Amino acid sequence: MDTDPAPKLPPARERIGPIRVTLKQLYPEVVSALDHKNALELLVATILSAQCTDARVNTVTPALFARFKTASDFATCDIKELQKLIKPTGFYKNKAKHIRACCVAIVERFGGEVPGNLDDLVTLPGVGRKTANVILGDAFATPGITVDTHVGRLSRRLGLTRHRDPVKVERVLMELVPQEEWTKFSHRLILHGRKVCYSRKPRCEKCALATICPKVGVKGLAAKRKRKKKKEDSPQRTQRAERKKESK
């Protein structure tokens, strides 16, 4: 848990309004970064996006969705062919297994259609609350808070929660943010995390939220970078590097 003292600011319930307004001004139109035409395509693309960039997933899915068009297609596919098509996204063996198992369940239990409610979605192999909320928000227009690494990180830095458990973060944000904004608020936090509030070196000097953000944990990051640089610049480390270079 971060221990950096935070500046005295109004409580989260008072700051969430300005945070929402500022994020809406920065990112007025927000949609899923994953290219898709229906709920099944979004579900598959979201599974592929684990430990992979959305841009990389979008380079893979056109050929994938041209080959497999329905849940039944994925459920009965040759696993080796599926693995080959999705290999650039990484962890392709596990992802292929989850996609096929997920689609088998969709065919057997939901008539080949992706279910449109959270309780059913989270019963599918490879689908947790994060993926389920992505599907609900972007395929079914059902508001949901998607807690990925960006949403979790920014929620803590903004002092909205101290939780690290994604489910607990989700519940806190559900209490703070009006329901009709859940999906778009998630997208805006994700975009802000990608563009400004980086994990290791947040651009606080460029951040429109700087005056209402307690920057929880940011001071610790700066100190950590300073210690790392000092260690890298130490004479002993330099000498070891030189000896290693000479021995080659």
d(CA 62, CA 34): 11
DSSP 186-217: HHHHHHHHHHTS-SSS--GGG-TTGGG---TT
Any catalytic annotation for residue 148?
A: yes
Euclidean distance between CA atoms 25 and 46, whole angstroms = 27
In angstroms, rounded to a whole number, what is the distance separating the alpha carbons of residues 36 and 208? Answer: 31
Dist. CA 21–CA 23, nearest whole Å: 6
**Among residues 130, 138, 184, 215, which one is catalytic?**
130
228 catalytic per annotation: no
Tokens matching residue 26: 């920065």
Two structure tokens written together for 100: 């096929």
Cα–Cα distance for residue pair 15/160, rounded to 1 Å: 9
List the catalytic residue out of 24, 95, 138, 148.
148
DSSP 179: G
State the angle between helix axes of 182-195 and 129-139 in degrees (0 to 180), rounded to the nearest 10: 110
Active site residues: 130, 148
